[in-house]
Amino acid sequence: ELDLNNKLPLKGKTILVTAGPTYEAIDPVRFIGNHSSGKMGFDIANSAANLGAQVVLISGPSHCKVVNSSIQLVEVITAQEMYEACHKFYPDVDVAIAAAAVADYKPKNVALQKIKKAADSFVIELEKTKDILASLGDQKKNQYLIGFALETENEIENAKFKIKKKNLDLIVLNSLQDDGAGFGKSTNKVTFIDKDFNIEPMELKSKEAVAHDILNKIIAHFNILDR
Ligand code: CTP
Ligand code: CA
């Protein structure tokens, strides 16, 4: 039988997505950042909205644009701002997907004035940022929680460790082995690992196609729940 609702399988669901890099200030004119474009997170947000979901997209500095009016874009700069925005929305969402490349460390002290060039060498002391995804895992109620993992060695083992440590339902392991994959590229080579450690390697494909694969995992999760 024809079920017209199937065209919008995520209707009634709210999905939080983090995207992009974070910028951690050194002084008023400088920061520590990374090469994340935000594209993966924006593609996920757009796909989710096209499938009927309400989306809250919390993004660090990015040139990507939202197209769908079902997406609420919350723009942040720092890891701390992203953390606060995530926790504001998290209690009310059905799914959270952490696609942001959050800085792991930030300068311990931010200079109030532009730092002048003086000595031949210069050290900036860094301290850890909050692990946003781990904190969402800690406070998880019924949310389906998805993280990413970027690894360059012992990929599967490290990704499994992150699933446990951050209390995830699914992790998207990003392989940089392939030349066409990852930061600043339009393609990704990913492997899905779920909380039962089922491993599903995917082909190298566009980030839009990876976004569709992730949304299909979410739809499958809700179909099992609703059965
Ligand atoms: N993440 C986060 N907050 C942080 C750091 C990471 O929410 N402060 C999230 C990322 O969005 C990603 C996941 O945690 O979904 C894994 O990020 P990754 O950099 O691969 O792992 P880390 O836990 O930061 O460990 P490491 O960088 O040492 O591998
Ligand atoms: Ca990290």
The DSSP secondary structure of 136-157, one letter per residue, reads HHHT-SS-EEEEEEEESSSHHH
CA dist 8 to 48, 57, 107, Å? 9, 19, 44
Q: Residue 4's pLDDT is what?
A: 56
Q: Residue 179's pLDDT is what?
A: 62
Mean pLDDT of 134-148: 98
Cα separation of 199 and 201, whole Å?
A: 7
Amino acid at 62: S
1 versus 61: the higher-pLDDT residue is: 61
Considering only CA atoms, which residue is closest to atom 4 of ligand 1?
131
Q: Residue 180's pLDDT is what?
A: 61
Structure-token pair, residue 125: 């002391």
Q: Which stretches within the chain are classed as H helix?
A: 39-50, 79-89, 132-138, 155-165, 207-226
Q: Domains of the chain by range and CATH? A: 11-108+126-226 (3.40.50.10300)
pTM to 2 decimals?
A: 0.95
Mean pLDDT of 126-152: 97
- The torsion angles phi and psi of 145, rounded to 5 degrees, stand at -110, 125
Catalytic residues: 34
Q: Which residues surround ligand 2, an ion (CB under 5 A)?
A: 104
Considering only CA atoms, which residue is closest to atom 9 of ligand 1?
133
Mean pLDDT score of the chain, rounded to an integer?
94
Q: Residue 178's pLDDT is what?
A: 57
Three-state SS for 126?
Answer: strand
Pairing of strands 105-107, 126-128: antiparallel
Tell which one of 131, 165, 166, 170 to mutate to probe ligand 1, the residue whose CB is within 8 A of the most ligand atoms. Answer: 131
Mean pLDDT of 59-81: 97
Q: Is the pLDDT of residue 5 over 70?
A: no
